[in-house]
């Protein structure tokens, strides 16, 4: 690799809460959510080049519509950049899973190209470019624990949620145009006030403990009634009775927060016979960048 190449890590997230307040005139939904960064991450490298190219260990992602290439093209057109970049994307985060992988890759690309092309953009300017590319992108310029509002673009960093081991269970289901489809299935009965999320934010700000029973996600009832594969994984995870089973983003990834590695590593056995990818990772605060922990 060239000495001048830039490497960036794109961390996954889970939604500790996700409340939907209602539909907005612009077609998006107003949300209030607590997002938490995970140790699990993709790795991107950017080498100087005349053209813009993307190589990826998951070949179907090396396409023009990839948010990494869209981020690069946006910077080129908006700022009149004529340089290119040879980009490699090593995916570890499950794809279209509710873990923010594509959005995090996009934020990582904006950070990396700011360095590679010496653009001198501030974090605020990078965040604005990110928000143009996807609602979840701005969170990934902060990481750690944050309150996320609006359509996702308003991010308020919070004191770290306590450290947990995290067992991620991603049922292998294909939902076409997943995020749009699932927002489309939300009914007013799933709308909430945002109060539950704001209460947790308050507790974190006051340094108080947060009980896992306070965590929730508006998409969970939708996925449980619409998708048998998600329901089967959810039922099976209930066997680990000690822990609440939560949903990340618009799914289909289910997860549990666990106190120790042993508990986390006991989750894969529960899913035996079901078509799901199981990963064990941890939460991560802003300062830590531990590597992905291998599947058990
Ligand atoms: O912003 P992003 O491209 O990730 O959003 C994909 C789709 O998800 C939007 O077109 C919209 O249908 C839906 N969405 C929404 N409300 C949000 C975020 C996304 O309705 N807050």
Note the pLDDT tens digit of each residue in 78-90: 999 999 999 999 9
User: Which residue is closest in CA terms to ligand 1's atom 13?
Assistant: 180
Instruction: Report mean pLDDT in 10-residue bins for the chain, 296 residues.
Output: 84 98 96 98 98 95 93 98 98 97 98 97 96 97 96 96 96 93 95 97 95 94 95 91 88 95 92 95 72 33
Of ligand 1's listed atoms, the one at least distance from the Cα of 151 is 21
**What does the pLDDT read at residue 240?**
76
pTM confidence score: 0.94
Which residue among 13, 83, 228, 295 is the active-site one? Answer: 13
Residue 91 appears among annotated catalytic residues: no
**What does the pLDDT read at residue 285?**
87
Q: How far from chain centre, in Å, is Cα 69?
A: 18
Which residue among 26, 83, 91, 136 is the active-site one? Answer: 136
**What does the pLDDT read at residue 1?**
53
Ligand 1 centroid – CA 184 distance (Å): 10
Of ligand 1's listed atoms, the one at least distance from the Cα of 29 is 16
Ligand 1 centroid – CA 225 distance (Å): 21
**What does the pLDDT read at residue 239?**
84
User: Which residue is closest in CA terms to ligand 1's atom 8?
Assistant: 180
**What does the pLDDT read at residue 182?**
96
**What does the pLDDT read at residue 243?**
78
User: Which residue is closest in CA terms to ligand 1's atom 14?
Assistant: 28
Angle at alpha carbon of residue 88, lines to 87 and 94, rounded to 5°: 130
- Tell me if 180 CB under 6 Å of ligand 1: yes
Ligand 1 centroid – CA 203 distance (Å): 29
**What does the pLDDT read at residue 67?**
97
**What does the pLDDT read at residue 242?**
64
**Interatomic CA distance for residues 124 and 127, integer angstroms:** 5
**What does the pLDDT read at residue 286?**
62
**What does the pLDDT read at residue 212?**
87
Measured N-to-C along each axis, helices 67-79 and 101-116 cross at an angle, to the nearest 10 degrees, of 40
Ligand 1 centroid – CA 28 distance (Å): 6
Residue 154 appears among annotated catalytic residues: no
Of ligand 1's listed atoms, the one at least distance from the Cα of 30 is 21
Enter the tokens of residue 268. 């894969």
């Amino acid at each position: 690799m060239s000495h001048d190449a830039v490497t960036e890590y794109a961390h996954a997230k889970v939604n500790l809460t996700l409340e939907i307040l209602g539909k907005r005139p612009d077609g998006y939904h107003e949300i209030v959510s607590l997002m938490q960064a995970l140790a699990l991450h993709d790795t991107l490298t950017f080498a100087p080049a005349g053209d813009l190219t993307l190589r990826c260990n998951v070949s179907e992602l090396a396409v023009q519509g990839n948010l990494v290439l869209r981020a690069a093209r946006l910077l080129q057109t908006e700022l009149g950049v004529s340089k290119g970049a040879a980009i490699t994307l090593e995916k570890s985060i499950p794809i279209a899973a509710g873990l923010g992988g594509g959005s995090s890759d996009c934020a990582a690309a904006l950070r990396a190209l700011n360095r590679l092309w010496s653009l001198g953009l501030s974090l605020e300017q990078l965040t604005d470019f990110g928000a143009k590319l996807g609602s979840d992108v701005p969170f990934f310029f902060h990481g750690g624990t944050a309150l996320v509002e609006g359509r996702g673009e308003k991010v308020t960093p919070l004191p770290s949620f306590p450290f947990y081991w995290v067992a991620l269970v991603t049922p292998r289901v294909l939902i076409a145009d997943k995020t749009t489809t699932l927002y489309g299935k939300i009914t007013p009965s799933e709308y909430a006030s945002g109060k539950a999320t704001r209460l947790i934010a308050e507790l974190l700000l006051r340094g108080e403990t947060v009980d896992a029973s306070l965590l929730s996600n508006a998409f969970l009832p939708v996925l449980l009634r619409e998708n048998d594969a998600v329901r089967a994984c959810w039922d099976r995870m209930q066997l680990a009775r000690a822990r609440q089973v939560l949903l990340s983003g618009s799914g289909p990834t289910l997860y549990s927060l666990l106190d120790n590695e042993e508990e986390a590593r006991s989750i894969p056995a529960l899913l035996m016979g079901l078509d799901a990818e199981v990963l064990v990772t941890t939460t991560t605060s802003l300062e830590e960048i531990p590597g992905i922990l291998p599947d058990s």
